[in-house]
Amino acid sequence: MSDLELISCWCGSGELIPFSEHYNRCSQCNTLVSRFRKTEDFYKGGDSTDDLYGKEYWTKHVKKLGFPDIYERSRSDLTERSVYWLRSILQYKLPPARTLELGCAHGGSVYLQRQAGYDASGAEMSNWLCEFARTTFDVPMYCGGIEKIDVQPGTLDAVIFMDVLEHFPDPVQVLSRIVSTLKEDGIAVIQTPCWRSVAKTYHEMKADNEMFLLHLKEDEHLYLFNEDSVRLLLSRVGLTNVAFETPIFAYDMFIFAGKHPLTKHDKAEVSQTLMQDPYKRAILALLDTYNKLELCEEGAQTRIAELEMALGKLQSELLTTRQHERSLDKVLNSFTWRLTAPFRRICDKLRRDR
């Protein structure tokens, strides 16, 4: 496929409206569609310098974009996004359950799932990255896309793909394969960028300095969805029951989807499940610690907001005081004030002589 080939939207519509230099907006579903594609092999991944999502991508390319490399992420993610995601996954699908995480990178999230009692595996496009995950976290890995790896239909309780959906050249085809691997009550767990400002133009979003614009990477992010368009996509492949949870990053959306109404377990049920096995208590402790840190951060943000409000009030009062000072200076320097100075001195002397 040519780098300059214009394509249609995943929904089948060819009615695309220019949005930015490299993206069109679908007039039917409001998905942002990258205008250009690399060759098919580029998206299959690999470990040459020309492949996406291989060793070069994770060790060098991400650093050029200002993000930590795979070595840093394999440590930092476990106390950040990986535990955040696990907390919600536990609410929608209790262990024991069989899970597969597509695009699992270093495999840290798969490792935490296994510690929580899931029969969890990961999948990546790069042989090097698969070996990195096996070596770093001792997790089972598939190498290749979901279309090619050996997963039998109807055998998975959950397929997890974080920051992956936007990379699929054919979302309907890939999601159809994912759904085929799920059990009847299985779920898809998705994080993907969310285009919330559908009523704004690109230039309006740029003027407002919206963080979402960082996701306009035309060679990598082929489709960028909003809540309505991703719901439409999921319903197209039979996942008609959708729940949106709060994402860890404000510019994303965090989705749970299934064929049937979703069951959400409360914290007590999750805790009880983890306490039944001595080996799972470490995960419960990790979740407890994360929850406490989250509360501390919320408290700190509230205090910062209060201090900023108090500072704003003080700055307003200071401005008012300075305005009064300038008004007084004008009076003191006025002709009338100077002209009446002798009379004020006489009055002052008379008051002192009393």
DSSP string, 15-84: -EEE-SSSEEEETTT--EEES----HHHHH--SSTTSTTSHHIIIIIHHHTT---HHHHHHHGGGTHHHH
Q: How far is CA 11 from CA 8, 160, 188, in A?
A: 8, 23, 20
Q: Within a domain: residue 267?
A: no
Q: How far apart are CA 195 and CA 228, in angstroms?
A: 10
- Residue 204 has a pLDDT of 98
Are 231 and 253 in contact, with CB atoms under 8 Å apart? no
- pLDDT for 48: 66
Sign of CA dihedral 270, 273, 279, 281: positive
What is the per-residue DSSP string for 127-192?
HHHHHHHHHHH---EEES-TTTS---TT-EEEEEEES-GGG-SSHHHHHHHHHHHEEEEEEEEEEE
Residue 24 resides in a domain: yes
pLDDT tens string, the chain, 354 residues long: the values are 444 345 799 999 999 999 999 999 999 999 999 998 777 667 666 666 666 778 888 999 889 888 999 999 999 999 999 999 999 999 999 999 999 999 999 999 999 999 999 999 999 999 999 999 999 999 999 999 999 999 999 999 999 999 999 999 999 999 999 999 999 999 999 999 999 999 999 999 999 999 999 999 999 999 999 999 999 999 999 999 999 999 999 999 999 999 999 999 999 999 999 999 999 999 999 999 999 999 998 888 888 888 899 999 989 999 999 999 888 888 777 767 677 778 778 888 788 877
Give the count of domains, the chain.
1
Residue 305 lies in a domain: no
Tell me, yes or no, whether 175 lies in a domain: yes
Domain span at residue 126 reads 16-261
Q: How far apart are CA 347 and CA 230, in angstroms?
A: 83
The verdict on residue 141 lying in a domain is: yes
The answer as to whether 274 is a domain residue is no
Q: Which two tokens stand for residue 312?
A: 């704003």
Give the pLDDT of residue 3.
Answer: 40
Q: For residue 227, which of 244, 245, 206, 210 has the smallest C-alpha distance?
A: 244
Instruction: Give me the phi and psi of 151, to 5 degrees please.
Output: -125, 125
Q: Residues near 122 by Cβ (< 8 Å), separated by ≥ 6?
A: 100, 101, 102, 104, 107, 109, 110, 130, 133, 139, 140, 141, 142
Taking a C-beta distance cutoff of 8 angstroms, is the pair 241, 261 a contact?
yes
Structure tokens at 324: 């009064």
CA–CA gap between residue 26 and residue 29 (Å, rounded):
6
Confidence at residue 339, expressed as pLDDT on a 0 to 100 scale:
76
- Rounded-to-5 percentages of helix, strand, coil across the chain: 50, 15, 35
Classify residue 280: in a domain, yes or no.
no
Do 139 and 114 contact (CB within 8 A), yes or no? yes
Which domain CATH number covers 165? 3.40.50.150
Is residue 256 domain-resident?
yes
Rounded CA Rg of the chain: 29
